[in-house]
Amino acid sequence: MEFLVDAAAWFRDPHNWQGSNGVPARVLEHLYYSGVATLIALGLALPVGLFSGHTGRGGALAINVANIGRALPTFGLIILAVIMMGLGDLPIFIALVAFAIPPVLTNSYAGIRAVDPDIRDAAEGVGMTGWQVLWHLEVPVALPLILAGIRTSAVQVVATATLAAYAGSGGLGRYIVNGFAVRDFPQIFAGALLVALLAVLIELVFGRLQALVVSEGLAARTAQANADAKMTSAAA
Amino acid sequence: MSALYQAAAVAQTGEALIRWDWVMRHDERIRALFLDHVELTAIPVLLGLAIAFPLSLSAVRWPRLYAPLLAGTGLLFTIPSLALFVLLLPFTGLSRTTAIIPLTLYTLLVLTRNIVEGFRGVSDDVSEAAEAMGYTRPRRLVNVELPLALPVIIAGVRIATVTTVGLVTVTAVIGQGGLGRLFLEGLRFRDTTPLLVGVAGCIVLAVLADLALLAAERHMTPWTRRARS
């Protein structure tokens, strides 16, 4: 259990809480990469997913994106992006966004498609326009799965951003990469612990958020939706 | 935007992204890493099945266990793989075990979900008919319900397998990794050739494994094929 003592010592060392390599700075950096990438992916994937779900077009595309996304080795592609485009934030963001898209796209599509056609007919029958059907019926009913997709993306981006440290990015992955480089095991262990905590924390925060915004009648679907959505993420 | 310019410059100078002579010279090593990758994928999926089956069958028998089971395996799935590998280092060191334990844990969510859904999808009429014919509970499970649940279960195994192929590459960081070792090599020498070989190898392996499992499913559930045609 000596490593626990070492790791505790690492966390107690004030040096590890200050400056650009301190825990607060690294956590913020990690949240910055993850947050920006998730938001860009949302902006790109959510409209496409909702629209194709609403019209029923592009279903094969959504399913194929999910399948290909799962088969692609995240770790290799993020390194490839940096070698081909040079060190810097742009290739990192491109890779992070690319891997954040499939869960949002496929789950928003699947969520809208799964809305009971009878309810959709009824909504059209009472004179709702296409937009109204989408905003007042399909999106609220599909919300458990849509949010589960966003949650999956956000958590997966945290993991991918950790791997991105190998490709030269900042964030909490730096502790692991730098630690391996100088065989500083307390630092490696502390970094891994912080990454795991951050991912679990984001997962739990999203869980609370889902509980707040999803209609009570659909709450039972949330657990299942979360499990389903996780399967659409790439391996990281 | 300098990164984009650099990418454009690389493309313009015509520097080959993949040098085939490197691939030829390293074909034996690539083959060995591929086989290593197959092993690092197969062991966790098989172990995962061995663990997920009893868990799922209990959740089918006692439905109240299902939600906590999904939540628990889901939370495990949330932990970034790099972190989980590293967190095991103090216990199991730079060994194959350190790779296999997290890889196995990650398969549990998909496998549990699909095994439970598979058994739940078996029509009650079928189960009751089997019971009326004198099947005992265990025999009914193995001879009647399991075959009917197989398509959904194998769909889960396919997802778990393809996901594991990708995750194995991260274990290169702890000295394992199969084709993932080529990623670190490409990184060290700023060389796209080993990287592309590694990425392509992973995709080929994922597709082959997926097709093999699909063929296995067809073979094990001949009645679905007849119904389809």
**Spatial distance between the Cα atoms of A118 and A95, rounded to a whole number of angstroms:** 40
**Is B162:B202 a contact under the CB 8 Å cutoff?**
no
Nearest Cβ partner for B192 among A74, A83, A191: A83
What percent of chain A clears pLDDT 90, i.e. is strictly above it?
Answer: 72
Q: How many CB pairs under 8 A join A and B?
A: 171
Nearest Cβ partner for A234 among B106, B166, B207: B166
The DSSP annotation for A84-117 comes to: HH-SSHHHHHHHHHHHHHHHHHHHHHHHHHTS-H
Residue B196, chain A, CB below 8 Å: the answer is yes
Lowest mean pLDDT among A210-214, B15-19, B147-151: B15-19
Sort out which chain A residues have CB atoms less than 8 A from B184's CB and list them: 166
Please indicate, yes or no, if residue B128 is contained in any of the structural domains: yes
Lowest mean pLDDT among A195-204, A221-230, B187-196: A221-230
Residue B87, chain A, CB below 8 Å: the answer is yes
Please indicate, yes or no, if residue B199 is contained in any of the structural domains: yes
Answer whether A91 sits within 8 Å of B75, measured CB to CB. Answer: no
**pLDDT tens column, A103-156:** 999 999 999 999 999 999 999 999 999 999 999 999 999 999 999 999 999 999
pTM of the model: 0.90
Q: What is the pLDDT of residue A61?
A: 79
What percent of chain A clears pLDDT 70, i.e. is strictly above it?
Answer: 100
Sort out which chain B residues have CB atoms less than 8 A from A236's CB and list them: 80-81, 166-167, 170
Provide the residue range defining the domain that includes B178: 35-228
Place B9 in a pLDDT band, splitting at 50, 70 and 90: low
Q: What CATH number corresponds to the domain at position B43?
A: 1.10.3720.10
**pLDDT tens column, B79-134:** 999 999 999 999 999 999 999 999 999 999 999 999 999 999 999 999 899 999 99
Residue A227, chain B, CB below 8 Å: the answer is yes
Residue at token pair 């060190």: A87
Tokens of B143: 């001879």
Q: What is the pLDDT of residue A234?
A: 72
What percent of chain B clears pLDDT 90, i.e. is strictly above it?
Answer: 84
Q: What is the pLDDT of residue A221?
A: 78
Answer whether B183 sits within 8 Å of A193, measured CB to CB. Answer: no
**Is B203:A70 a contact under the CB 8 Å cutoff?**
no
What percent of chain B clears pLDDT 70, i.e. is strictly above it?
Answer: 92
Give CATH superfamily name and number for A2-230: MetI-like (1.10.3720.10)
Please state the φ and ψ torsions of residue B122, each to the nearest 5 degrees.
Answer: -70, 125
pLDDT above 80: residue B3:
no
Sort out which chain B residues have CB atoms less than 8 A from A155's CB and list them: 78
Answer whether B70 sits within 8 Å of A227, measured CB to CB. Answer: yes
Q: What is the pLDDT of residue B2?
A: 56
Place B229 in a pLDDT band, splitting at 50, 70 and 90: very low
- Kindly give, in sequence order, each residue whose CB lies less than 8 Å from that of residue A78, ignoring residues fewer than 6 positions away: A92, A95, A96, A160, A163, A164, A166, A167
Residue-range domain boundaries for chain A: 2-230
Please state the φ and ψ torsions of residue A170, each to the nearest 5 degrees.
Answer: -85, -150
Domain count, chain B: 1
Q: What is the pLDDT of residue B16?
A: 79
Q: Identity (one letter) of the amino acid at B68? A: P
Lowest mean pLDDT among A9-18, A57-66, A83-92, B20-29: A57-66
